[in-house]
Amino acid sequence: MSKKVLVVDDDPDVRSFVVTVLEENQYIPLIAQDGIEGFEMIEKEKPDLVILDVLMPRGSGIRLYRKLKTDESFNQIPIIMFTGIALRSFLKSQKALDEFKGGEVPEPDIYLEKPVKPEELVAAIKKKLD
Amino acid sequence: MSVNKILIVDDEEIIVKVLSMSLRTDGYETIAAHSGEQGLEVFKSESPDIVVTDIKMPGMDGLELLKKIKEIDPEKEVIIVTGHGDIDSTITALQYGASDFINKPVRDEALAIALDRAKTKIDIRAKLKEYTENLEFKVAEATEEIRRKSNFQRLLIRSSNDAIVAFNHDWKVVVYNPEAATMFGEAAKDVRSKMTIDDLYTPQIAQIFKNQAKEEKQQNTLPWRENIIKTKDGRQIPVRYTSNVLYEKGEFVGTVNFFHNLTEIKRLEKELVQSERLAAVGQTVSGLAHYVKNILIGLQGGSYVVDVGIAKNNTEKFKTGWKTIKRNIKRVGDLTQDLLTYSKQREPEFEVCLPNDIVEDVIELVTDVAGSNDVLISKEYDNSIGEVMADSQTIHRSLLNLINNAIDACIEDEDISKNHKIKVKTYVGKDNYFCFEVKDNGCGMDKDIQKQLFDPMFSSKGGKGTGLGLLVTSKLIEEHNGVIETKTSPGEGSTFTIKLPYEKVN
């Protein structure tokens, strides 16, 4: 059975690109435009993998990432961060949030900095799902 | 000094004997000589305090002896013993500096009186000498102290990094240190006690100090101020200066001015501004690169989708990919236009236009985007504005930028319970401006963002903005002699107001 992959990104260009890549590789694409919609989709559709942008309106990727990693019902879902933000900046903000909120959230499984070639994206998905 | 050695000179031995005896009983030490020549010898070897000599003697007489003694030591007291009525000799003796005269025959009382007088004179002279010597020493000491002090002060004034110029009550230069010479470009020798305040300073500066002297009736220091000094040779020197009016016992005695040269400080300030500008250019380039990278990502993604559409003969995919490509081509176009607007000096093209109509056009352009993001746009027009002379393009682009920003601020807002709305208002403002106000209740901005708001390539939209929008807007408004104002509060929204000079067309 084909696996479900959720793309959470506010940029329609990125969404159509990732959706096309997923379709071409026989995954079932799901889409959400922001963090809040993303979480609703995860609760409803239980995707096998989440591809997550960092900077988005309405509940950023940073917030959704922490929410998923600290919730036992979701923390097994692999997440690919897919963003224009440098990993260093992302980790710095995570560390700041760790200190602020207490506890420690694990680093993302895979962190892809845009631009990403279709093959690279596919390789990253395969690594997590196959 | 006690007097006790007396030389008695007389060719008559008996007189010498009698006088010696009489003086010895009074406690004096006496030496005797029987001729002028002998007297001189004894005087040289014994150095008596007082000499008593007969005037008439064979060989060297008393007058001659007196003269020789006075030549050796003018301070010795010589008492002359004369015969009765010898006026001529007496006058000559006086001329030679005799201290006193006793008539022959010598009486004890007369001699005692003469000796007393001589002694008193010697005492006084001794005291005077002591005082004089002391005084000389004291004066030398005081002079040295004054010299040291004045030397120290002179060095102090000389070595000061500030230019120091002082004037006396006639406004003549009395102090002019080397730094002052450097600053004003006039050599000290041509200035000190030669120039007046009007010769040295430009009228404007001279007037400041003259007024101060006129107004201040007591010693008072001017607070440090800044000014540009123009020198006679045409240099302009930025200075901090102060001045002190000097009084002595309530009398105006002069003024002293201090100038601190700010040229170096100003140069450093300029350098700092320059390096900040360079840093801003660096930021601009990296911001620009970031934005271009985002366009590239869009184009690459779009072309991939187009490729898939072609390969699979899937029109839907083809259309989606093509839309992405077109959207990113438009972003390149927008960026180019923003960059051109920002970099080119453009004169506003004034024409008759209706501000309210321009607002209406702009709102129509953005209504779709706003609607699809659940943002409500309302408007309030002041119809009294009417027709004005203005550059409609400036108004159009500025408003479009501001309203687009407002929509973004609503979309970015994390508080989704709000009913997001934007109000666009026109009105006639104070100071002859007509105004546009764009008010949103979106995310607002914190102080950091607000500070960078008009910086080139600063964007809070995470790579989705060129970072030129507000920069371009403020440039357009400035070229139109207008003002742009911001009020914002994080979480509550922002208000941007554009004010343009109101030139109504009847």
A16·B416 Cβ contact <8 A: no
Helix, strand, or coil (residue B262): coil
B314 and A CB contact within 8 Å: no
- CA of B268 to nearest chain A CA: how many angstroms apart? 35
B300 and A CB contact within 8 Å: yes
pLDDT confidence tier of residue A79, bands split at 50, 70 and 90: very high
Closest by CA position to B105, among listed B199, B225, B19? B19
**Interface with B, mutate which of A7, A17, A119 (most B CBs under 10 A):** A17
Walk along chain B (506 residues) and give the pLDDT tens digit of each residue. 466 799 999 988 888 888 888 888 888 899 999 999 999 999 999 889 899 999 888 889 899 999 999 999 888 889 998 876 778 888 888 888 888 888 888 888 888 888 888 888 888 888 888 888 888 888 888 888 888 988 888 888 888 889 999 999 999 999 999 999 988 888 889 999 899 999 888 888 888 888 888 876 665 677 888 888 887 778 888 899 988 888 888 888 899 999 999 888 888 887 777 776 666 666 667 777 778 888 888 899 999 999 999 999 999 999 999 999 998 998 888 888 877 777 776 778 889 999 999 999 999 888 888 888 889 999 999 999 989 999 998 899 899 989 999 998 898 887 778 899 999 999 998 888 999 999 999 988 888 777 777 766 566 665 566 667 888 888 888 888 899 999 998 889 999 999 999 988 76
Pairwise CA distance, residues B497 & B388, whole Å: 18
The structural domain count of chain B equals: 4
B416 and A CB contact within 8 Å: yes
B302·A13 Cβ contact <8 A: yes
B297 and A CB contact within 8 Å: yes
The residue out of B243, B261, B279 marking a domain boundary is B261
B324·A13 Cβ contact <8 A: yes
Pairwise CA distance, residues A46 & A61, whole Å: 18
Give the E-state strand segments of B354-492 in sequence order.
376-380, 388-390, 421-429, 433-440, 483-489
Residues B244 and B377 placed together within one structural domain of the fold: no
Pairwise CA distance, residues A36 & B414, whole Å: 10
For residue B155, being part of any structural domain is answered with no
Task: For residue B235, give the DSSP letter.
Answer: -
Task: For residue B212, give the DSSP letter.
Answer: H
Q: Which residues of A touch B462 (CB under 8 A)?
A: 55, 84-85
Q: pLDDT at position B105, please? A: 82
pLDDT confidence tier of residue A130, bands split at 50, 70 and 90: confident
- Is B55 exposed, middle or buried (CB count within 10 Å of its CB: 0-12, 13-18, 19+)? buried
Q: pLDDT tens, B434-471?
A: 999 999 999 888 887 777 777 665 666 655 666 678 88
A11·B464 Cβ contact <8 A: yes
Q: pLDDT tens, B484-503?
A: 999 998 889 999 999 999 98
B308 and A CB contact within 8 Å: yes
Task: For residue B459, give the DSSP letter.
Answer: -
A101 and B CB contact within 8 Å: no
Residues B226 and B333 placed together within one structural domain of the fold: no
Q: Which residues of B touch A13 (CB under 8 A)?
A: 297-298, 301-302, 324, 327-328
A11 and B CB contact within 8 Å: yes
For residue B83, being part of any structural domain is answered with yes
Specify whether the CB–CB gap between B104 and B113 falls below 8 A.
no
How big is the A-B interface in CB pairs under 8 Å?
61
Residues B356 and B488 placed together within one structural domain of the fold: yes
A115 and B CB contact within 8 Å: yes
- Is B280 exposed, middle or buried (CB count within 10 Å of its CB: 0-12, 13-18, 19+)? middle
**Interface with B, mutate which of A13, A23, A54 (most B CBs under 10 A):** A13
Helix, strand, or coil (residue B463): coil
Instruction: List beta partners, residue B32.
Output: B8
Q: Tell me: pLDDT of A107 over 80.
A: yes
- CA of B232 to nearest chain A CA: how many angstroms apart? 59
A89 and B CB contact within 8 Å: no
For residue B139, being part of any structural domain is answered with no
For residue B142, being part of any structural domain is answered with no
Phi first, then psi, for residue B484 (nearest 5°) are -120, 130
Q: Tell me: pLDDT of A104 over 70.
A: yes
CA–chain centroid gap for B297, Å, is 58
- CA of A77 to nearest chain B CA: how many angstroms apart? 25
Pairwise CA distance, residues B14 & B29, whole Å: 18
Q: Which among B290, B317, B414 is the nearest to A20, CB-wise? A: B317
Q: Which distant-in-sequence residues (6+ apart) come within 8 Å of A23 by Cβ?
A: A29
The residue out of B218, B237, B261 marking a domain boundary is B261
ipTM of the prediction: 0.84
Residues B444 and B495 placed together within one structural domain of the fold: yes
Rounding to the nearest 10 degrees, give the CA dihedral for residues B39, B40, B42, B43: 110
A115·B463 Cβ contact <8 A: no
Pairwise CA distance, residues B184 & B341, whole Å: 47
Q: Which among A11, A17, A55 is the nearest to B305, CB-wise? A: A17
Query: Which domain, by its residues, includes B170?
Result: 161-261
A84 and B CB contact within 8 Å: yes
A16·B320 Cβ contact <8 A: yes
Residues B467 and B386 placed together within one structural domain of the fold: yes
Alpha helices in A11-103 (DSSP H): 12-24, 35-45, 61-69, 87-101
Q: Which distant-in-sequence residues (6+ apart) come within 8 Å of A76 by Cβ?
A: none
- CA of B284 to nearest chain A CA: how many angstroms apart? 18
Tokens of B493: 């929204």
B425 and A CB contact within 8 Å: no
Q: Which distant-in-sequence residues (6+ apart) come within 8 Å of B30 by Cβ?
A: B5, B6, B7, B8, B19, B20, B23, B24
Q: Which residue has the tokens 């934005």?
A: B291
Residues B438 and B459 placed together within one structural domain of the fold: yes
The residue out of B343, B370, B391 marking a domain boundary is B343
Q: Which residues of A touch B320 (CB under 8 A)?
A: 16, 20
Please give the residue of chain A at the shortest CA–CA distance from B299.
Answer: A13
- CA of A42 to nearest chain B CA: how many angstroms apart? 19
Give the E-state strand segments of B191-297 in sequence order.
220-221, 225-230, 236-248, 251-261
Residues B89 and B211 placed together within one structural domain of the fold: no
Residues B246 and B109 placed together within one structural domain of the fold: no
Rounding to the nearest 10 degrees, give the CA dihedral for residues B457, B458, B462, B463: 0
Q: Which residues of A touch B420 (CB under 8 A)?
A: none
**Interface with B, mutate which of A10, A20, A53 (most B CBs under 10 A):** A20
B331 and A CB contact within 8 Å: no
A112 and B CB contact within 8 Å: no
CATH of the domain at B41: 3.40.50.2300
Pairwise CA distance, residues B172 & B35, whole Å: 71
Residues B251 and B277 placed together within one structural domain of the fold: no
For residue B149, being part of any structural domain is answered with no
How large is the angle between the packed helices B36-46 and B62-72, nearest 10 degrees? 20
Q: pLDDT tens, A42-65?
A: 999 999 999 998 877 767 788 889
For residue B138, being part of any structural domain is answered with no
B416·A58 Cβ contact <8 A: yes
**Interface with A, mutate which of B308, B331, B417 (most A CBs under 10 A):** B308
For residue B140, being part of any structural domain is answered with no
What would be the CATH architecture of the domain defined by A4-129? 3-Layer(aba) Sandwich (3.40)
- CA of A130 to nearest chain B CA: how many angstroms apart? 24
For residue B146, being part of any structural domain is answered with no
Number of H helices, E strands in chain A: 5, 5
Tokens of B138: 């004291």
Q: pLDDT at position B1, please? A: 47
